[in-house]
Structure 1
Amino acid sequence: MGDWKTTAGSSPGRRPRALSPLREHLRDTFWFAPTAALVLVFVVWAGASAADEAILTALRDSGDKDAVRALHGIADDARTVVTTVSAAMMTFIGVVFSISLVAVQMAAGQLSPRVVPIFVRSRITKATFAVFLATFVLSLLVLASYDSEPDPTLVSSTPLIQSVLTSLMVGLSVVLFVMYVNSMLRLMRVGHVVDLITAESLRVVAELPPDGSADEADGLGPETARLAHHGSAGVLRDVNIARLVRTARRHGVVLRLIPGVGDFVVPGTPVFAVHGGPLTKGVAALHSHVSVSAERTFYQDLGFGLRQLSDIALRALSSSVNDPTTAVQAVDRILRFLAVVARRPLGAALHRDRKGAVRLVRPVPGWPELVDLALTEIRWAAVHSPQVTRRLLAGIDDLLRVVPADRREPLVRHRSLLVQAVERAVPEAADRAFALHPDRQGIG
């Protein structure tokens, strides 16, 4: 119980930055890290090539032909290594992709298709692929830098530093490959995946403003205008909070986001309501601060983590999988999330300008909605699994000791419905009593 009270979700929200959505969008892509690595490797290669030319020129000017021959001999030996590296790196890249695809396929099939973004956002996967690709391209550039002149006193290029850099990149690739395999093995474990989902969900909680509720959002004054969505249909992925606050402050109004992050919007759907005055300029800019995508993401979406955890539990409880222990692991993290948000203001996020005036109101799920999302479907599916019903009852009892009095009703309702469902579904009195006995391990 004490662990629930000291979590990351209890820290006050940080002030959003204008580039935060861009950073999160790049985290959800796989192309950015390899592309940045390729650009960087060209820059590094150009610098190393210039250094090699400077070293060779200095040796020539000194008139030391023996040093030039020795340098050429060392570089010629390194050429063999670079040639081997160039041939082997593509094989390494193929291995990385094969392991990644197998891990993603297993996770999507056994857990939920919505856990795939966890693999896409994996930093070690992106770093490994980027370094492998950079090492391969660097080895090709180094091989192209070698001079075929047979007389070592006349060579115009001796890529010694470039060869050393390639060797260092190979060493880094080996280290990253070991870390990558370890990371993939961890991602194939259910406990690690649900922990990652929980950590991402708690990060969303931690970034919420420390104050704000649906009641406070009601006192915004009369609504003066509504702005509709004009882009493509899709899921409201996120909004650029910093720029929306700046725009509202500049025009002296309050903006209220009508759909919640994670809602599906179509052209014509009202997106913003304007309070406190007219908004004559900057309408086009407001639309550019709204991001619509094909699927939900963790960023700003308070309920997405619960949706993933619930899906994992439901898949585990299905007749085709029948893995109640995995469902209990998901329920453990669901209860942790609910314990973190139990005392936080919910229903609306109030974003203020530097002077403390509310400029943007963003809807977030309230406590009853979060409890329903977390427990309803699992409660229906768990009726014939005593391990899960016992864990749910123990978890709800623990939450009832943590939450304020005004937030107990949804938990009491779900507990009563669970008890009623088990009593109807299980005919034997002894089995009913066993299934309705609270146990924090399910069947410990």
Structure 2
Amino acid sequence: MAEGVRGAEADEDAGAHAGGGVRAPARRERAERVRESFVLVPLLGMAAAVLLAVATVAFDLALSWLSAVSGAEEELRDTLRSLTESANAVLGTAGPATLTVLGVVFSITLVALQMATGQLTPRVLYLFTRGWVAKLTLAVFLGTFVYTLVVRYAGGLLADEEAGMPFIALVSTAVAMLLVGASLVMFVYFVDGTVKMMRPTTVLDRVGRETLRQIRALPRDTVPAPRKASVAPLEEEGRGGYVRTVRSRSDSGVLVRVDTARLLRWAVRNDAFVRVLRESGDYVATGSPVLEVHSPRRPAHLGRVARAVRTGAERSTFQDPAFGVRQLVDIGVRALSPGVNDPTTAVQCIDRLQLLVEEFAQVPQGERVVRDRKGRVRAAVPLPQWEPLVELAFTELVLFSSGQPQVTRRLAAALDDIESHVPEARRAALRRAREELRRVCVRSMPEGLVEFAQTADHQGIGG
């Protein structure tokens, strides 16, 4: 067993190239968990505030003790007493005020975000929870409140008026004022970010950048996708004697990520090959097939490998760039609905979709493979495929572009540009979309505008 663990660790190091390894994806997965968590950063901010309060209280306690034992003059003691009263007043006001402002600001912000997502799509609300500005703002505000609370409580415990040694919160008060200033600065950035979230272009850019980052992170070490799920690659290596389908043991939900590190360790220990049967974004019910195991003998602990397939309440762009494309299409389709009738927003969606599809054209088709130190394929994970992604990006927009020459002209330009940048083998899906766009224009446009509506224009109707 120890040899298998050491082998798995070596495999992780050996496969770190071209997306075939697991160490870099594991780091990305941990970073993604931090980004998706809305409580981790605020909790760390409150913990840091407690530590800072303990440090400043200890420093002020030393100053108070020195002033008491030094035999200061009466005038100096009166001044120190006045400073103590002023410090207590500042600390007593700063903490509750920041907490009150925080509650009001976040309440108004959530209402504004609900209005914004109602105009675009509810699936972009996660951008707010993933944003660092909102988390840091919450951390600074809560940290300020906790800091003032701890300092005031510690000051009340440590003050000894009968012995003539009042607690002088000089440094603590200065730090509290700095925290209040930082809260005001974060408040300005938070409001600025929230207002930008209500602008369609800001949301489209953020979705586009995140999706582009995930497409570029897709591995380049792939094998052709099998025609049947039961076909294992490299059968000549003798790992296909035992075949077993593993069912999901997680709660029903959307497949959000596949733990390739766990798959590799388990496959090395059992000399097995594991194929993931479901794609990221698929809804996986408890007990449904998710993995297929090929090995020369009956492997042990099949339940452990099932934990590598993780489900969640909703899709995430992590390991699922098609979800970003889905969001852009949803925004464009809603903009073209009769109740909204905003073709310019649809054109802006097509701008981002063209960039994403062109970038995805550089990704090899097939399955992502995870190799061990000797180069053997130990696991295969399905990747988004070219034709389904092109259909996802353009089919609905083409159908909903009926009667909108601005949109049809921009779609024609996007399809022509992408077709000129991809090899011949990938042009069939684009030509089908172009032909469907032609039929939509013929059906929905006056005869004199059919040719105009099919003319490529990168601005829709522009220069």
TM-score (norm 2): 0.87
State the partner residue of 1:26: 34
1:199-278 matches, cutoff 5 A: 199-215=209-225, 219-221=233-235, 222=240, 224-278=243-297
- Whether the 8 Å CA contact 2:232–2:294 is kept in 1: the answer is no
Aligned-partner Cα distance in 2 for 1:215–1:183 = 42
1:71 to partner: Cα distance: 4.1
**Local SS of the residue matching 1:146:** helix
1:143 to partner: Cα distance: 2.5
1:11-410 matches, cutoff 5 A: 13=19, 15-18=23-26, 20-64=28-72, 70-147=79-156, 151=161, 154-155=164-165, 157-215=167-225, 219-221=233-235, 222=240, 224-278=243-297, 280-410=299-429
**1:422 maps to 2:449:** no
1:150 to partner: Cα distance: 9.1
CA distance 1:347–1:107, shift in 2 (3 Å): farther
Aligned-partner Cα distance in 1 for 2:297–2:77 = 77
Q: Deviations over 1:210-234 (max 9, x none)?
A: 2214348962423622211122211
CA distance 1:165–1:354, shift in 2 (3 Å): farther
**Local SS of the residue matching 2:125:** helix
CA distance 1:18–1:299, shift in 2 (3 Å): same
Q: RMSD in angstroms over aligned alpha carbons?
A: 2.4
State the partner residue of 1:437: 455
- Whether the 8 Å CA contact 1:258–1:363 is kept in 2: the answer is yes
User: What one-letter code is carried by the residue in structure 1 that aligns with 2:249?
Assistant: H
CA distance 1:354–1:157, shift in 2 (3 Å): farther
Q: Deviations over 1:5-36 (max 9, x none)?
A: xxxxxx95484354543432332232222222
1:183 to partner: Cα distance: 1.1
**Local SS of the residue matching 1:100:** helix
Aligned-partner Cα distance in 1 for 2:162–2:421 = 79
Q: Deviations over 1:335-381 (max 9, x none)?
A: 10001011211332222345543322111121001001101111111
User: What one-letter code is carried by the residue in structure 2 that aligns with 1:40?
Assistant: A
- Whether the 8 Å CA contact 1:12–1:206 is kept in 2: the answer is no
State the partner residue of 1:7: none
> Which deviates more, 215-224 or 394-403?
215-224
> Which deviates more, 227-236 or 401-410?
227-236
Structure 1 residues without counterparts, runs of 5 or longer: 1-10
**Local SS of the residue matching 1:303:** helix
Structure 2 residues without counterparts, runs of 5 or longer: 1-16
1:188 to partner: Cα distance: 1.3
Aligned-partner Cα distance in 2 for 1:293–1:406 = 36
Aligned-partner Cα distance in 2 for 1:180–1:279 = 56
Aligned-partner Cα distance in 2 for 1:196–1:111 = 13
Aligned-partner Cα distance in 1 for 2:320–2:285 = 19
CA distance 1:225–1:314, shift in 2 (3 Å): same
Aligned-partner Cα distance in 1 for 2:206–2:374 = 36
1:243 to partner: Cα distance: 2.5
CA distance 1:192–1:279, shift in 2 (3 Å): farther
Aligned-partner Cα distance in 2 for 1:194–1:119 = 13
Give the fraction of aligned pairs with identical amino acids, expressed as a percent: 37
> Which deviates more, 196-205 or 135-144?
135-144
> Which deviates more, 44-53 or 114-123?
44-53
**Local SS of the residue matching 1:77:** helix
Aligned-partner Cα distance in 2 for 1:21–1:69 = 58
CA distance 1:62–1:288, shift in 2 (3 Å): farther
Aligned-partner Cα distance in 2 for 1:278–1:322 = 61
**Local SS of the residue matching 1:442:** coil
**Local SS of the residue matching 1:272:** strand
- Whether the 8 Å CA contact 1:201–1:302 is kept in 2: the answer is yes
**Local SS of the residue matching 1:105:** helix
- Whether the 8 Å CA contact 2:218–2:363 is kept in 1: the answer is no
**Local SS of the residue matching 2:134:** helix
Q: Deviations over 1:162-210 (max 9, x none)?
A: 2222111111111111111111122111111111111111121122212
**Local SS of the residue matching 2:275:** strand
CA distance 1:350–1:103, shift in 2 (3 Å): farther
TM-score (norm 1): 0.90
CA distance 1:386–1:40, shift in 2 (3 Å): same
CA distance 1:70–1:292, shift in 2 (3 Å): same
Aligned-partner Cα distance in 1 for 2:408–2:430 = 14
Report the number of matched residues: 433
Aligned-partner Cα distance in 2 for 1:115–1:307 = 11
Aligned-partner Cα distance in 1 for 2:160–2:53 = 24
- Whether the 8 Å CA contact 2:83–2:168 is kept in 1: the answer is no
Aligned-partner Cα distance in 2 for 1:412–1:383 = 18
Aligned-partner Cα distance in 2 for 1:55–1:16 = 50
Aligned-partner Cα distance in 2 for 1:257–1:236 = 11
User: What one-letter code is carried by the residue in structure 2 that aligns with 1:302?
Assistant: P
